[in-house]
Structure 1
Amino acid sequence: MQETAILADAACDMPRAMMDALGVRTIPFRIRAGDRFLADTRDEDALPDLYRQYLVGKQDHYAESIPLLERELEDHLLRNVVAGCDRAILLTIASSRSKFYANANGAVVGTVARSFKLRKDAGRSGLFDLTVIDTGAIGPGQALIVREAARMLGEGASAAAVVEAVENRLRDAAHMFLIPDELLYMYTRAKLKGENSITWGRYMLGSAFNIRPVIHMHRGETEAIAKARGPEDGIRRLLGHVEACIRAGALLTPAVGAAYAGDIDEVTSWPAWQSLADTAARHGVELMLAPMSLTVALNVGAGAFGLSYLSEMPPPFV
């Protein structure tokens, strides 16, 4: 029987303990801060210090996340993956947000071609098989798709069935919501990337009246769908929306992903989170709360809160 591994890049905001339990392997991003470089590997123990060094109070945006290049991805896969399994499914951050998918797709031929000798030396026959899929999601949305793919494999599904489920069902059902805290940070970051999720007008209005946008991402596209009176109001409404999804039986899978660019103990102390946790427990829904990866946090700012679910027909956000 051929062995299949699930791979995800470091933007996948799944709790590290869950990744380890499911056997999900992480491919790092490179972080550039001035003339310094470091790797984002989703090391949760290191994240608080990384937030302090590269995120909190850093309105100059001197740090940025950069995907590995094609040859670097080939080298990483050859060193860490190809000799330990027969095939891998790499589920990437949305291609609309990063060049990681394009670089990974470009690394497929070289990885497969160079895998033969390494696999032979490890006692494995044939070439390595690598499938790269754009999840169309980031952070906790990507994590939900990765979780379901790993769960299917663990229950005996074939690699082909997993790929079919991701491409034809799961990624179209992934909805992510983001409540930013630092509007200036997110406005200037969006401007640098040519995005309009926060415009100059929204930034000025938000600053003057403590208004925060509720940003929705679906199929790789983002838009501001509502306005909230400060981040606390936005988070309360978002968590209430998810409770409504759970009560309506609208979730495609019994899991909700969340990520916070800060201390996640703060999240568990919020009354709205505790209410969501009670509702989720009553309906058998798992809450996946993780610290936001540095890769994602560098694009949305300190204190940002993201939440995702998989649903084909979610109720409207109110």
Structure 2
Amino acid sequence: MQETTILADAACDMPRAVMTELGVRTIPFRIRAGDQFVADTRDEDALPSLYEKYLVGKQDHYAESIPLVERELEDHLLKHVVASCDRALLFTIASTRSRLYAHATGAVIGTAARSVRLRKEAGRSGLFDLIVIDTGAIGPGQALIVREAARMAADGADARAVVEAVETRLRDAAHMYLVPDELLYMYTRARLKGEDSITWGRYMMGSAFNIRPIIHMHRGRTGAVAKVRGSDEGRRRMLAHAEQCVRNGSLLTPAISVCFAGPLDIVRAMPAFQSLEHAARAKGVELMLAPMSLTVALNVGARAFGLSYLSEEPPPLA
């Protein structure tokens, strides 16, 4: 029987303890700030200081996240993966948001060809098999898809069944909601990337009246679905919406994922989070809370809040 390893890139906002429990391993991103580089490996201990260094008060946006290119991915897999298993399933951030999926698919043949000697030295026969799957999600949505895939693999599902579940069922059910705290950060970031998610007019109006958008991501596409007075109210509405999904049985899988680009104790202290936590426990739903990856946070700013669930027919955001 072939051994399969589950891989996810560093944009996957899964708590480190859950990743360890499920045996999920991380593919890093690079963070570039001027002529300096740092690796984003989802090191939860390091993230608070990285937020301070690259996010807080950094409206000039000199830092950016860059995916590894094909040869770098091959080198990483050869060093860390190919000798310890026969196959890897790599679940990437949405291809609409990053070039990682394209780079990883380009690294499939090279990784297999270069793995022969290393695998032979490790006592393994046959070529290494790398399968790359576009989750169509980011952050907490990606985490839920990876969680379900890892649980299926742990329960004995073969690689084909896992990939089919993601591509025919899980990917289409992934819904992510996000509310930013710093509108100026999001405005200047969107302008640099040529996006119109927040225009100058929307930024000025939002700043004047403390209005924040609630952004919804589904199937790799994003758009504002509501406006709220302040980021605190946005977080409360998103958490209340998730609790409604729990209570009315709308979830496809018994899990909800929450992430925050700041101290997690702020989230834990929120009455709406505590209410969701109570409802989730009563219904047997796992509530995952994780620091937002630097790769995702660089696009939405400090203290941004994200929440995801998998549902084929979710209720409307109230």
Distance 1:227 1:85 in 2: 48
Question: 2:118 aligns to what?
Answer: 118
Q: How does 1:276-291 map to 2 (within 5 A)?
A: 276-291=276-291
Distance 1:245 1:173 in 2: 13
Question: 2:27 aligns to what?
Answer: 27
Question: 1:297 aligns to what?
Answer: 297
- The reply on whether 1:251 has 2:251 as its aligned counterpart is yes
Could you tell me which amino acid in structure 2 is paired with residue 104 of structure 1? A
Question: 2:92 aligns to what?
Answer: 92
Could you tell me how far 1:197 is from its partner in structure 2?
A: 2.1
Question: 2:237 aligns to what?
Answer: 237
RMSD: 0.7
Please state whether the residue corresponding to 1:59 is helix, strand or coil.
coil
Measured against aligned partners, the alpha-carbon deviations of 1:238-276 in whole angstroms (never above 9, x if no partner) come to 111111111110000000001100000110000110111
Distance 2:27 2:238 in 1: 30
Distance 1:203 1:101 in 2: 32
How many residue pairs get aligned? The number is 318
Please state whether the residue corresponding to 1:61 is helix, strand or coil.
coil
Measured against aligned partners, the alpha-carbon deviations of 1:196-220 in whole angstroms (never above 9, x if no partner) come to 2222222111101000000000000
Measured against aligned partners, the alpha-carbon deviations of 1:154-194 in whole angstroms (never above 9, x if no partner) come to 11111111011011110110000000000010111112122
After the TM superposition, which segments of 4 or more aligned residues of structure 1 sit over 4 Å from their partners? none
Distance 1:44 1:291 in 2: 7
Measured against aligned partners, the alpha-carbon deviations of 1:124-171 in whole angstroms (never above 9, x if no partner) come to 000001100110000000000000000001111111110110111101
Measured against aligned partners, the alpha-carbon deviations of 1:5-62 in whole angstroms (never above 9, x if no partner) come to 0000000000001101110000000000111111000000011111111111111101
Q: How does 1:196-235 map to 2 (within 5 A)?
A: 196-235=196-235
Distance 1:196 1:86 in 2: 44
Distance 2:130 2:226 in 1: 40
Distance 1:82 1:200 in 2: 48
Could you tell me which amino acid in structure 2 is paired with residue 27 of structure 1? I
Measured against aligned partners, the alpha-carbon deviations of 1:283-311 in whole angstroms (never above 9, x if no partner) come to 11111100001111111000000000000
Distance 1:267 1:194 in 2: 32
Q: Taking structure 1 as the reference length, what is the TM-score of the superposition?
A: 0.99
Distance 1:196 1:120 in 2: 52
8 Å contact kept, 1:197–1:215: no
Q: How does 1:1-318 map to 2 (within 5 A)?
A: 1-318=1-318
Distance 2:296 2:282 in 1: 31
Please state whether the residue corresponding to 2:140 is helix, strand or coil.
helix
Could you tell me how far 1:110 is from its partner in structure 2?
A: 0.5
Could you tell me which amino acid in structure 2 is paired with residue 231 of structure 1? S
Could you tell me how far 1:116 is from its partner in structure 2?
A: 1.1
Distance 2:211 2:13 in 1: 26
Distance 1:159 1:196 in 2: 39
8 Å contact kept, 1:96–1:220: yes
Measured against aligned partners, the alpha-carbon deviations of 1:83-126 in whole angstroms (never above 9, x if no partner) come to 10000100000011111111111111101111111111110000
Please state whether the residue corresponding to 1:249 is helix, strand or coil.
coil
Distance 2:315 2:199 in 1: 27
Distance 1:201 1:226 in 2: 17
Distance 2:186 2:4 in 1: 38
Distance 1:247 1:17 in 2: 26
Runs of 5+ unmatched residues, structure 1: none
Q: Taking structure 2 as the reference length, what is the TM-score of the superposition?
A: 0.99
Runs of 5+ unmatched residues, structure 2: none
Distance 1:276 1:39 in 2: 34
Distance 2:201 2:311 in 1: 32
Could you tell me which amino acid in structure 2 is paired with residue 306 of structure 1? G
What is the identity percentage for the equivalent residue pairs of Structure 1 and Structure 2? 76
